[in-house]
Amino acid sequence: MASQLDIQPDCSLRALNTFGIDAKAAHYLEVSDVGQLHAVYLDPSLRAMPRLIIGGGSNLLLTKDFPGLVLHIATLGMAVTGEDEQHVFVAAKAGENWHRFVQWTLAQGFPGLENLSLIPGSVGASPIQNIGAYGSELADYFHACDLFDLRTGEIQSLTKQDCRFAYRDSVFKHELRDCAVIINVTFALPKRWQANLRYSELANELSTRGIHAPTASDISQAVIAIRTRKLPDPAKIGNAGSFFKNPVVTAEQRDALLAQYPSLVSYPQANGGFKLAAGWLIEHCGWRGKTIGAAGIHSQHALVLVNHGGASGADLLRVANQVRDDVLMKFGVVLEAEPLIV
């Protein structure tokens, strides 16, 4: 069965991860239809290999060559699939570029995803991370997804509840990691839309533009402008966007830190805790703009780990670990990486 699949041996993954790490896959398959996944399932040798499932490679740090089978999901397609009294349902296949999909929904006249504009990566990866930005997250609009289970060869449909979404987390990072391939994702977009301007940075950007009753497209353009200013272009400097999650601490921890550091940036949470700005913590440990060899922290955004050119995945991980250790020592707060580290 493997002979029927275009599996490439000893394949460089450099162009398939936004850090630009030149790691290799022992076996690589670009997946453009579900039939290929079924063929992988039916082949005992392929089924037994270690697996790495990738999309846009924008949430991935490769620290070594991968000894098994890399499945690169490249399925394409977007469509309106239905509606009810409150929502329009739109779906995209897993290989679609996330930002392209967001812009397509807006062009169709379906608002809702505008705050998530310009987030790198693919539609299929978006539920795994429960991507979020500027007061919105994917779970707010997720309806369902179909996946191919490489353990059983079956296609399953998961609801929002099944996915167990949390802050930058989902069931796909736990029980379903490396065994479930998301095929497509369906979103429920509201017919009665309201602008989400909870983040002051976004509201200020719109105000600066003289926009006081923004459309969804206005918000999208403002988000694109902010992200373009703050975050480096992976085509110019290797990075995976924000490398660390914003840590959530108890009210007592936050109050103790605030007493010592009055400029601490924090946001109240529904559970009574507080989310701290990881970028603030990192910057106040002196890491913003600091480099060690070709690896370092971006000069404009302390949350962004960057490859200035030629850094290995191990070099980048070493810097990330030093940042994490310094934040723990200074603030007593544990930082958790967002990307998958392989």
Structure tokens at 179: 């065994």
Residue bearing tokens 């998530």:
116
* Sequence-separated (6 or more) residues with CB below 8 Å from residue 253: 274, 332, 333
Residue identified by tokens 């940036």 is 265
Angle, vertex CA 217, rays to CA 93 and CA 78, nearest 5:
15
Task: Specify whether 338 is catalytic.
Answer: yes
What is the SS3 assignment for 73? strand
Neighbours of 273 (CB within 10 A): 18
Whose tokens are 């082949």? That residue is 43
Annotated active-site residue in 114, 137, 168, 205:
168
Q: Which one of 170, 242, 266, 312 is the catalytic residue?
A: 242
- SS3 breakdown of the chain: % helix, strand, coil, rounded to 5? 30, 30, 40
End-to-end CA distance of the chain: 28
Tell me how crowded residue 270 is: count the other CB atoms within 10 A of its CB.
Answer: 5
HSE of 5 in the Cβ direction (CA atoms, 13 Å)? 26
Residues tagged active-site: 168, 242, 338
